Amino acid sequence: MALFTTQRPAIQQQLQRLQRLGCNVRLVIGPKVSKSVAGAGLPAAKVHRSTVHHKYMILDAQIAGAVQQIVFTGSHNFTGAAHTKNDEIWASYTAPLVTGAFIQSFDDLYDHRSEMAR
């Protein structure tokens, strides 16, 4: 999540709205991205650094009356061009084996406390 705050303000606004509603919005960003820019106005404690290139989003969604974890992943860079001009792929997964692997990967990245994270 590097450029969405400058090129996709609607995403920034939605993340801030979800945070205000009490959702646990957390970001992992690359080492060269400004925390203040990439954080989309989230508290600094919710934005962590790690070496990342892949893009994915994990949500707890209410589907047919039940809360279900869903992962969206693909080549989409969360930029305006990715949304309107580029050929991008974006897939969703709800299988617990897949969502569990992505959640573990995110938690590992998010909990990683290196010099990069400071």
β-sheet with 90-93: strand ranges across: 55-63, 66-74, 90-93
What is the reported pLDDT for 8?
62
Neighbour count for residue 102 (Cβ, 10 Å):
19
Q: Can you say whether the dihedral through the CA atoms of 73, 26, 15, 2 is positive or negative?
A: negative
Asked if 36 and 12 touch (Cβ cutoff 8 Å), the reply is no
pLDDT digits (tens, 9 = 90+) for 13-65: 888 888 888 888 887 777 766 555 555 677 777 777 777 777 888 888 888 88
* Structural domains counted in the chain: 1
Largest CA distance in the chain: 43
- Looking up residue 25, the CATH number of its domain turns out to be 3.30.870.10
Domain boundaries, position 52: 4-117
- pTM to 2 decimal places: 0.68
Asked if 17 and 11 touch (Cβ cutoff 8 Å), the reply is no
